[in-house]
Chains A and B, each alone.
Chain A
């Protein structure tokens, strides 16, 4: 398997050789292209970074802003020393983009970053981009991962709230992406009451609202009397589920929203009474359907359960390789 000579592949990621631009590099570099704002893709400390305006705003809000931000619109073409670069929606979180690279030899490489195909009211839908080489994530690349419809999972959450009027419903969700999608799903299901937030959630919620994502009435947990939170839905980062912070809630029902919740052992590790299978990543069916749809000549797998996806490609006569990138984190699901 041979990569075009204009791109370099190493454990630290992909690099456009002539322009010396890295894609989602795990350590600070002079020039970076960033797919989306999750910390394992958008590191702090880059000198220059190109990304969507939303991703750059997220990076700034989390203290990861590059010295020189260069916002790119979806579909806008930009030349990097002979390689034409454009961004296309990935459907993962607000601002998340796939990166399309067209080299001087005409080879088209698409780097999906993290993506999903399921509809998400908080971000633009995934756009299938034809390519010769698809560089895909594989976070949930095992046939055991089939995400159920998120509406059904949210219905279970709302049913648990209705069944426990004296308890708070504490939902663990990643502060960037998952939390906003959960709120939007609850609103779409007709839940109108204020949703309460852990302090660590507030800034990014405000950022989503400022970017036009309708989230309804949100309120801070801090300062609320305990009794006021009976029957309330409270969102907190997963790390807060088990710590002292949750003691301020009345006898909370602990829920956790994550694609990993499909595996019992993972739900138990989280101590989740109510595991909600809601993921911002493509599941097995979406990953394989996307490859079938795009028919790339080759598939490169960046991170996750690469062995299974590479095996699947090979059984379908699609050339595939695992890139074994370092610095990727499983948990921003």
Chain B
């Protein structure tokens, strides 16, 4: 019970255990190598005693690190990208070069360390189908200042960014962070050509009308590591190509965007049109057309606009001034707070997980969604206190509150759902603002939200 309450509060299992462990410091702390060695050689039967023995020799943060290491969850707070940046900084290397080599090597990266420390040759990433770090865009802050003549415009499609690579007879599909997701999307991988190439594009599910289906359809595919024949038939994926990074062994990334685009167009023309197509360029004559295209894109699977400098090389990471993204404005509605729950992870220990509702036809409040709070600490604190002072009932970690507080909820789209009594599901809902100024009876109705579906 005390463990459960503690975990509920702390939000992280390893951290909870590291804090609860009774200190019995005496022996010196184990080194990292010693701890890894002990964990490696532990058997299922000896593991509890081995871990307990190590925990006894560590302080709180040491215990936390050990448990994260033992459970394979050490990446919390330090993603692989951060590790590569740290590695590059430590040895004064170019992070792009580290990125490229990294993906061709495997832990513990002995050859990479040897090279970085000047003890060995530059590792050969091999000839197979390798991941190339993605080029990313910055959010567009000042659209009126953009030089239209210097940019190409594309839609930003609402799927997942992916890289499809053929090389040395291997065919692979990579996600944005460089994970190999070939097994999840065998239908797309099988359609890759025999000739070497590397495509950057958006992975989408094709709907019955031949157009991209909603993100929910793709979500089903993402959830299944090994899809069965029925799912492959009902939710076929395709790659909408944005860029061509390599072709026939030639690295194209130093070429300007317009030259890569020309090569991309002829390359895609040779591929299976059911599995590969081009992300079309959008013709925008002036800033008014730019704003209009962003505000009212022609397809629901469009998230916004991409602006790419015509002369931009393909550079890994988020380089300022080359690519911009301008997301379409999300919808907003006013809802009434109904239930609150303590968050986990970053937001643990505050009521930060909220269920909110809109008014139904008969005047009852119906839940329409659940969202985390995306706010400043002051607001989070205020809301946490509001919840504690306006609780009308408790169900375990959940509190039901007085139906009195209006919150502005922003979301990306709305669809029908049988999960909520309201019959609606909001896509990526987040709480945009607390509207303490607004009376609850002025919040939106379920009907008004449903009407947004048509847009």
**Chain B stretch 35-79: residues in CB contact (< 8 A) with chain A:** 60, 64, 77
Of B349, B388, B389, the residue contacting A266 (CB under 8 A) is B349
Report the minimal beta-carbon distance from A287 to chain B, rounded to whole angstroms: 13
- In the complex with contacts A326-B389, A329-B385, A265-B2 CB distance below 8 A: no
- Is B12 located at the chain interface by the 8 A CB criterion? yes
- Is the Cβ of A143 less than 8 Å from the Cβ of B346? no
Of B12, B385, B388, the residue contacting A264 (CB under 8 A) is B12
Of A265, A311, A326, the residue contacting B349 (CB under 8 A) is A265
Number of interface residues of B (CB under 8 A): 29
Number of interface residues of A (CB under 8 A): 27
Return the 5 tightest CB-CB contacts between A and B, nearest first.
A144-B19, A326-B389, A308-B5, A144-B6, A265-B348
- Is A269 located at the chain interface by the 8 A CB criterion? yes
Question: With a CB–CB cut-off of 8 A, which chain B residues contact A142?
Answer: 2, 5-6, 9
- In the complex with contacts A144-B9, A265-B10, A312-B2 CB distance below 8 A: yes
22 contacts between A and B (CB under 8 A): A142-B6, A143-B6, A144-B10, A144-B20, A262-B19, A264-B15, A264-B77, A265-B11, A265-B12, A265-B348, A265-B349, A266-B349, A268-B346, A269-B346, A269-B377, A270-B377, A307-B5, A308-B2, A308-B5, A311-B1, A326-B389, A327-B389
The answer for the CA separation of A31 and B64 in the assembled complex, in Å, is 49
Report the minimal beta-carbon distance from A38 to chain B, rounded to whole angstroms: 14
- Is B381 located at the chain interface by the 8 A CB criterion? yes
The answer for the CA separation of A270 and B11 in the assembled complex, in Å, is 17
Interface bits B102-145 vs A (CB < 8 Å: 1, else 0): 00000000000000000000000000000000000000000000
Residues of B within 8 A of A (CB): 1-2, 5-6, 9-12, 15-16, 19-20, 60, 64, 77, 345-349, 377-378, 380-381, 384-385, 388-389, 391
- Is A73 located at the chain interface by the 8 A CB criterion? no
- Is the Cβ of B19 less than 8 Å from the Cβ of A326? no
- In the complex with contacts A142-B2, A144-B10, A144-B19, A265-B347 CB distance below 8 A: yes
Residues of A within 8 A of B (CB): 142-146, 239, 242, 260, 262-266, 268-270, 305, 307-308, 311-312, 324, 326-327, 329-331
Known: A264-B15, A269-B380. 10 other contacts (CB 8 A): A143-B2, A144-B10, A144-B19, A263-B349, A265-B349, A308-B1, A308-B2, A308-B5, A308-B6, A311-B2
B60 nearest CB neighbor, chain A only: A262
- Is the Cβ of A239 less than 8 Å from the Cβ of B378? yes
The answer for the CA separation of A331 and B16 in the assembled complex, in Å, is 21
Question: With a CB–CB cut-off of 8 A, which chain A residues contact B389?
Answer: 326-327
Report the minimal beta-carbon distance from A73 to chain B, rounded to whole angstroms: 34
B19 nearest CB neighbor, chain A only: A144
